[in-house]
Structure 1
Amino acid sequence: MDLVAPVVVEPLRGRRCSECRQGPLQRMIVEFNAPVCLDCADLGHLVFLPRGDTALTRRARENSALWAVVVRHNRRRTRYERQGLLVEEEALARAEAACLADAEARARRRARDAERRAVRDAGITAALEAEILRLFPSIPAERAREVAVHASVKGSGRVGRTAAGRALDPGAVTAAVRASVRHVDTPYDTLLMGGVPRHQARTRVAPAIEAVLRAWRYGGQDGHGRDRG
């Protein structure tokens, strides 16, 4: 048998119950074109559940032996619009408990997911740091860590988060180190702030960048395995 829920109206103007004469009514049903208060309609024991939480509404409705739809007339749209439900108080309490349990479960799942992402992100950073140290054995360890952390920030779009960076492509790793040198070890940022166009500024600092990279890559050698002393 299809269920037909009672419809309760929130009147736009003061109305009185046609049976008990109480009013003005906050909510009412209409019987034979006359307003009837919820107590007279045997709905007074129900509690109001505003619309908005779909899961809570569904559970409260399923747990309530008697429930009603609450509507209000929208004059501008010339139609009745749903405001929520009237449900049994015990049904609402059970629904709220179930939703709370779900919320706690979701929170635990989010925490586990965050922990897994943190472990994965730490692995990406550690792998990038190790590759920086391999390519540039004379780079200070603290600087290698700083470059790796900066380049692998989640959602940054930086080298460490690209496919090449995650694959530890030497060109991508070197690009991350070069970017750090450009901003930290050269006057590049100062040139930009002084109005020097970006491409000109990069050209001016390029020799200094290559000198730092060469020193970090070869240490005290000239790049061909020969001491520079």
Structure 2
Amino acid sequence: MSLGLDFSIVVIIALNVLISFKGFNDFSFFEKYKFNVGAVKAGQQYRNITSGFLHADMPHLLFNMVTLYFFAPFLVQQLDSYKFILVYVVSLLMGSLLSFGIHKENNYYSAIGASGAVTGVIYAAVTMFPEMKLYMFFAIPIKGWIFGILYLAYSIYGMKKSVGNIGHAAHFGGAMGGYALALILKPEILSQNLFYTILIGLPILALFILMKLKKI
């Protein structure tokens, strides 16, 4: 995987850094642009996007940007700069929309961070190359398709049990965006890796069933 940074990646990382630092030092700015269910209901739809460029603190920002640094060049190489940006933005928006859908009865629910968009980038890569090697906890080697299934299974558990101060719904929504865009932009995946594509999509189907049954 090449670590060369395309200009599109530099722009996205720069926007995350600049907007996050502004939010670190300006509480009113942070409050105005974070995702909040009540505010979105009131018509402030821009929060679905702007919240993805805010972070809680430096570790939060650093983790997301380092992860993006490693995975984004791969996506640019397989697609192109414009399609990479499309995957990033759609995944970010899908994360916000699923968060709204899951938490729409809680007007006080808020969220920030690029995790949904970054998860979408990772999931698009895993969908295109399911046997790519990843490292859980930076040490344990695991195939991409296994990582994808385990990650979304944990996200479902996190949504059901409200585990930690983590936007599990945003992560899952982002993954859905990455999965869908990978199939749309590289439809040959279906003929090349049909079995893995179905496996990777099973947690998404499971979430829809659980939502239909009102289990989440």
Q: Which TM-score band applies after superposition, normalised by the shorter structure?
A: under 0.3
Question: Which structure ranks higher in relative contact order (CA pairs < 8 Å, sequence separation ≥ 6)?
Answer: 2
TM-score normalized by the length of structure 2: 0.25
TM-score (norm 1): 0.24
Question: More strand by proportion, 1 or 2?
Answer: 1
